[in-house]
Amino acid sequence: MRTMADLGRERSSHLRVINSPTNVDCAREVRLRLTLRSLIECLLPYCCTYQSPPSDQDDTVSSSSSDKTGAVITGTFFGHRHGHVSFCLQDDTHPFSQPPLLLLELAVPTAALAREMEEGFLRIALRSKSNRRSNILDVPVWSMYCNGRKVGFAVKREITENDVVFLRMMKSVSVGAGVVPNGETLYLRAKFERVTGSSDSEAFHMVNPEGSYGQELSIFLLRS
């Protein structure tokens, strides 16, 4: 059963989780902005807590298309409240039997990433001049830009045991943002549409909770 944040209610210091569809009488653009705003608020300090899934909840992950263009995969931003953010992309068909499609440590602190989102959208562009013969997801170091401003670098890293524990805890959350029980690790988790332009360009666009596509939160990989 899909789990998502209730974005139609007034702002709250806690993330309320519902397990059934909701009807929101507003334009699609407004819904998208409310979605992103809710995720931003959960990234800011002292905002909400992780909600454990019901014990009887089905913990299987629905599979998505295996096509590289238009496939929907899971993306998770996570990191210590006062540290840097990591970004992980997982193929829903093999979330733990294989390594993540991509795991990067981003140059921006968690609080700075939340501030970048305050305009209502976030565009992360990762640029590289690495060997064009390798897979673009294997590039070790990227120059990182947030909403057009260079903020440093993003570095590909290996998954750790702590990462595996955290991502397994997150596997029942399809869309949401908050703080895990230790109170120091923040997360933002959503579905992303994967679009492959060429062997030197890929993009990942956040899918809003109702299943439609937008570009309010996008990550671009560009190699020259």
Pairing of strands 201-207, 213-223: antiparallel
Contact call for residues 219 and 126 (beta carbons, < 8 A)? yes
- Residue 30 is encoded by which pair of tokens? 């407004």
Note the pLDDT of residue 1: 41
Identify whether 63 is part of a domain: no
* Closest-CA residue to 194 (of 70, 66, 67): 70
For the chain, the distance separating the N- and C-terminal CA atoms, rounded to the nearest angstrom, is 42
Q: Are 181 and 49 in contact, with CB atoms under 8 Å apart?
A: yes
3-class DSSP assignment, residue 69: coil
Domain-embedded: residue 60: no
Q: What is the pTM of this model?
A: 0.69
Q: Is residue 61 part of a domain?
A: no
The amino acid that residue 60 corresponds to is T
Q: Is residue 172 part of a domain?
A: yes
Pairing of strands 213-223, 141-146: unpaired
What amino acid occupies position 102?
A: L
Q: Could you list the residue range(s) of the whole structural domain that residue 29 is in?
A: 4-55+69-223
Token pair, residue 71, equals 């496939």
Q: Could you list the pLDDT tens digit for every one of the 224 residues in the chain?
A: 433 333 333 333 333 333 333 444 444 444 445 545 555 555 443 333 334 443 333 333 333 333 455 789 999 999 888 889 999 999 888 777 788 999 999 988 887 887 777 777 889 999 999 877 889 999 999 999 999 999 999 999 999 999 999 999 888 888 888 888 777 888 989 999 999 999 999 999 999 876 555 568 999 999 98
Residue (of 223, 37, 220) closest to 145 by Cα position: 220
Q: What is the pLDDT of residue 86?
A: 95
Please report which helix (H) or strand (E) contains residue 161, including its range: helix 161-170
Q: Are 7 and 34 in contact (CB under 8 A)?
A: yes
Q: How many domains are contained in the chain? A: 1
Residue 193 lies in a domain: yes
